[in-house]
Amino acid sequence: MSNTHIEAGWEGRFYENVTVGDVYKHPYGRTVTETDDVWFTNPTMNVNGTFILALAAGMSVMDVSMNATANLGDDDIRHHSQVSHGDTIFAESKVLSKRESESREHVGMVTTELRAYNQNNDLVLSLERTPVLKRENADVSPDQPPGWPEGVGTQQGDSDD
């Protein structure tokens, strides 16, 4: 009989891990399908560029905003080139600025430029995002990740039987 040990997974970057000028090339591209276009277009009744914005922002979460407590906004949104089904989108983020919160010591604001490219290296989208990131010293543990109620799931010391 052995006791279970909970190991932390990738917890994302904290405010202290971000340096102005860093560029994070987000893993995995995503090919836009005809179904994506139809499903996103039907509710809005037009071909909607916010699908690509949502896709690129989703790609950036792992590197930029996994530890975000809020998003202050998306600014300077530019659609540079058309995206069609069959295009594969890749995204990267460059850290433009960061500042500590004056009112909450456990967070800081980070502004990034999110850029999305197609498979031909054509810039298709750019925007600035400003998430509010937790600081590394915020009370986060692998035993009690944010959003999990105490006592739910496997606990330290549980038996493997």
Give the CATH number, domain containing residue 26.
Answer: 3.10.129.10
What tokens does 133 get? 């990131």
**pTM, entire model:** 0.71
Note the pLDDT tens digit of each residue in 28-84: 788 888 888 788 777 765 557 888 999 999 999 989 999 898 999 999 999 999 888
Residue 83 lies in a domain: yes
Residue 65 lies in a domain: yes
Name residue, tokens 């989108």: 89
Q: What is the DSSP letter of 63?
A: I
Residue 6 lies in a domain: no
Residue 73 structural domain: 15-134
pLDDT exceeds 90 at position 27: no
Residue 112 lies in a domain: yes
Residue 161 lies in a domain: no
Residue 159 lies in a domain: no
- What does the alpha-carbon distance between residue 29 and residue 33 come to, in Å, rounded to a whole number? 13
Give 5's pLDDT tier (boundaries 50, 70, 90).
low
- What does the alpha-carbon distance between residue 37 and residue 45 come to, in Å, rounded to a whole number? 11
Name residue, tokens 């989208």: 125
- What does the alpha-carbon distance between residue 38 and residue 31 come to, in Å, rounded to a whole number? 14
State which H helix or E strand residue 99 sits in.
strand 88-100
Residue 86 lies in a domain: yes
Residue 117 lies in a domain: yes
